[in-house]
């Protein structure tokens, strides 16, 4: 016969457990060498058979010691019902041919009966205590894992109760209307003042009448100063020059002239001019038409004034709009009672009115805006959210795990209310702890009656257990110390890290 595993005097039961677990074949054959003592305990063989059965394998045993062959065959053919007794395989296998016969007197028989009864009571009581009294507390450590999930929940004003199926909780609309105003300094600048005015006499040096329209530009003739412009304030006709013959055969010339009012084209005192300055007319040569003021040109002034700029209008509107939103939020919060939650992102703002006290480019040092704003927010009951989260979290926990006790931890991110519905989407970022499930009843059943080292190996073989501590009571000598033989005396305590 070919054997998968050979056990000698150094082989321990843990070695055989690992070998069976690693075996590729489903039928595992183990040979015990002559010096091996492991198989002398029938409980060891039962443990190996049970562990092999859990791995969907079968295990059969054989021994080199032929005198133990019947015992091993019995184990292979019939799962032994003596839980943890020691089989005395070293007894004499041949029946004795002769027995000594002793004749006891009556007195001696009574003594033997008393001694036998005492020993029976003593050892029987000890066995009963060893079997029924011991208890064990097994503390196992299991690593908790973090469960992070996103849940989508709707807060709806039309809902009347919490609906786990629809992921919806009731909500109510809260609206307010507030008014306020704000004033800022204007930042625009423009030049203002008065235009210089006066009269100019225009001289026509041609033989034809010259007609000028109102608004015709005349310019100061100057080599040192800027060529300042003025406009005539009326339509005029300047008569032609007149030539008169003299007695000597010559003639005298008198230019045609016309006095006209003029006004500077812009503001500023630079347009103020002393009398007897010369002027030219646009599109006319001074040899044909020229002007001169007989009196001073006066009244020109210039100063810079503050006016409303476009940036002032835009900036004030933006600033007051944000301020009004803050006031709306504060007003709505005052309407929220204890236990309710207002997602600020759910508030919709509407500008009812906004009026400036000045227009663009209008002169003034300040600009004021009066505004009225309406806000509508969604409010939900916090206990309703806690309730639906506690129910929905159960649907996202993997089947092989259990949710740790306590209230789930979560954060809420709310989006804006959907236009026309008033429904607010709440995005729940769930953070909770889960631990692997343990079949405590099976573990207790499997460990019942095991030796301490066997129980330790068994617990080590369960992957979800990260650590353990076995506390036995009462303490017994190592040779007879086992796990309790009664399942009810074994307690498992789970320590979740």
Give the tens place of pLDDT for each residue, 475-495. Answer: 877 777 888 888 889 998 888
Tokens for 113, please give them: 């009966």
> Same domain, yes or no, for 122 and 65?
no
Same domain membership, residue 118 and residue 37: no
pLDDT of residue 95: 42
Unique residue bearing structure tokens 């343990």 = 438
Beta strands 229-232 and 256-264, pairing class: antiparallel
Same domain, 203 and 267: yes
CATH number at residue 217: 2.40.30
DSSP H helices, 35-178, are 42-54, 69-77, 106-132
What mean pLDDT do residues 28-39 have?
Answer: 87
Q: Could you give the CA distance from residue 282 to residue 257 in angstroms, rounded to a whole number?
A: 17
Q: Tell me the whole-structure pTM to 2 decimals.
A: 0.49
- Tell me the residue range of the domain where 116 lies: 102-130
Q: Which residues pair with 278 in a beta bridge?
A: 292
Of the three residues 301, 328, 361, the one that is the final residue of a domain is: 301
- CA-wise closest residue to 422 among 494, 348, 349, 350: 348
Q: Is residue 63 assigned to a domain?
A: yes
The predicted structure's pLDDT at residue 74: 83
Residue 73 maps to a domain? yes
Where residue 351 falls among pLDDT bands split at 50, 70, 90?
Answer: very high
58 with 123, same domain: the answer is no
Share of the chain above pLDDT 70, in %: 87
Same domain? 123 vs 207: no
Q: Kindly state whether residue 107 falls inside one of the protein's structural domains.
A: yes
Going by the DSSP 8-state scheme, the letter that residue 482 receives in this structure is: B
Asked if 54 and 112 sit in the same domain, the reply is no
What mean pLDDT is predicted for residues 419-446?
Answer: 82
Nearest to 376, CA basis, from 344, 405, 412: 344
CA atoms within 13 A on the CB side of 210: 23
Q: Final residue of a domain: which of 240, 267, 301?
A: 301
Please give the pLDDT value at position 85: 42
Same domain flag for 62 and 116: no
Q: 250 in a domain, yes or no?
A: yes
Please indicate, yes or no, whether residues 16 and 109 belong to a single structural domain of this protein. Answer: no
Residue range 133-159: mean pLDDT, rounded: 87
Alpha carbon distance 415, 421 (integer Å): 13
- Give me the chain's average pLDDT, please: 85
Q: Say what the pLDDT of residue 110 is.
A: 62
Could you tell me which of 387, 376, 373 has the C-alpha nearest to residue 345?
Answer: 376
Q: Which of 263, 285, 301 is the last residue of a domain?
A: 301
Assigned domain for 466 exists: no
Q: Is the pLDDT of residue 393 over 90?
A: no
Tell me, what's the pLDDT at 87? 47
Indicate whether 310 pLDDT > 90. yes
For residues 483 and 136, the answer to whether their CB atoms sit within 8 Å is: yes
Residue among 42, 46, 150 nearest 427 (CA) = 150
Share of the chain above pLDDT 90, in %: 41
258 belongs to a structural domain: yes
What's the structural domain count of the chain? 3
What average pLDDT score do residues 319-331 get? 95
In this predicted structure, the answer to whether residue 278 has a pLDDT above a threshold of 70 is: yes
Question: Would you say residue 277 lies in a domain?
Answer: yes
Pairing, β 210-212 against β 256-264 = unpaired
| Of the listed ranges 9-23, 116-130, 186-200, 249-263, the one predicted with least confidence | 116-130
* 441 φ/ψ sector (left φ>0, alpha ψ -120 to 50, else beta): alpha
- Rounded Cα distance between 293 and 199, Å, is 6
Digit-coded pLDDT (tens) for 82-108: 444 444 454 444 444 444 444 445 555
Tell me: do 222 and 280 sit in the same domain. yes
Q: Can you give the pLDDT at residue 106?
A: 59
Average pLDDT over residues 425-437: 83
Please tell me whether residues 293 and 213 are part of one structural domain.
yes
Q: How far is CA 144 from CA 162, 238, 265, 409, 439, in A?
A: 30, 109, 88, 15, 17
- Of the ranges 219-233, 240-254, 373-387, 388-402, which is most confident? 373-387
User: Cα torsion for 322, 326, 332, 335, to the nearest 10°?
Assistant: -160
* pLDDT for the residue 322: 95
pLDDT at 357: 95
Short-list 160, 157, 154, 158, CA closest to 174: 157
Residue 382 in any domain: the answer is no
Residues 51, 10, single domain; the answer is yes
């Amino acid at each position: 016969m070919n054997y998968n595993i050979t056990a000698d005097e150094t082989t321990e039961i843990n070695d055989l457990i690992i070998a069976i677990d690693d075996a590729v074949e489903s039928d595992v054959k183990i040979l015990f060498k002559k010096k091996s003592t492991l198989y002398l305990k029938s409980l060891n063989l039962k443990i190996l058979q049970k562990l092999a059965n859990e791995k969907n394998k079968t295990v059969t045993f054989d021994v080199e010691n032929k005198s133990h062959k019947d015992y091993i065959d019995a184990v292979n053919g019939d799962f032994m019902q003596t839980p943890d007794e020691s089989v005395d395989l070293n007894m004499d296998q041949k029946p004795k041919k002769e027995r000594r016969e002793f004749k006891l007197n009556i007195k001696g028989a009574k003594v033997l009966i008393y001694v036998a009864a005492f020993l029976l009571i003593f050892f029987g009581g000890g066995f009963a205590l060893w079997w029924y009294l011991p208890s064990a507390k097994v503390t196992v450590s299991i690593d908790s894992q973090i469960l992070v999930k996103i849940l989508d929940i709707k807060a709806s004003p039309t809902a009347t109760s919490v609906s786990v199926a629809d992921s919806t909780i009731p909500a109510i609309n809260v609206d307010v209307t507030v008014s306020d105003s704000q004033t800022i300094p204007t930042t625009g600048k423009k030049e203002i003042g008065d235009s210089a005015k006066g009269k100019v006499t225009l001289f026509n040096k041609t033989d034809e009448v010259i007609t000028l329209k109102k608004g015709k530009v005349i310019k100061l003739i100057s080599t040192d100063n800027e060529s300042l412009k003025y406009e005539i304030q009326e339509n005029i006709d300047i008569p032609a020059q007149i030539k008169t013959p003299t007695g000597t055969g010559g003639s005298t010339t008198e230019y045609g002239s016309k006095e006209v009012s003029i006004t500077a084209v812009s503001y500023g005192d630079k347009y103020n001019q002393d009398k007897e300055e010369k002027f030219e007319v646009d599109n006319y040569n001074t040899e044909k038409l020229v002007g001169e003021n007989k009196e001073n040109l006066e009244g020109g002034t210039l100063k810079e004034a503050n006016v409303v700029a476009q940036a002032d209008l835009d900036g004030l509107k933006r600033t007051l709009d944000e301020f009004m939103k803050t006031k709306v939020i504060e007003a709505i919060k005052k309407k929220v009672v204890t236990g309710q939650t207002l997602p600020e992102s759910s508030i919709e703002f509407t500008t009812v009115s906004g009026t400036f006290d000045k227009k663009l480019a209008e002169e003034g040092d300040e600009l004021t805006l009066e505004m009225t704003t309406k806000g509508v927010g969604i409010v939900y009951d916090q206990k309703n959210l806690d309730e639906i989260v506690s129910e929905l979290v159960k649907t996202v926990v993997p089947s092989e795990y259990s949710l740790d006790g306590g209230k789930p931890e979560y954060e809420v991110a709310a989006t804006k209310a959907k236009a026309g519905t008033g429904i607010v989407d709440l995005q729940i970022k769930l953070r909770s702890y889960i631990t692997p499930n343990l079949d405590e009843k099976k573990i207790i059943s499997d460990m019942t009656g095991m030796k301490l080292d066997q129980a330790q190996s068994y617990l080590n073989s369960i992957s979800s257990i990260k650590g353990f501590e076995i506390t036995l009571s009462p303490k017994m000598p190592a040779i007879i110390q086992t796990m309790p033989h009664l399942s009810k005396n074994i307690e498992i305590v789970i320590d979740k890290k």
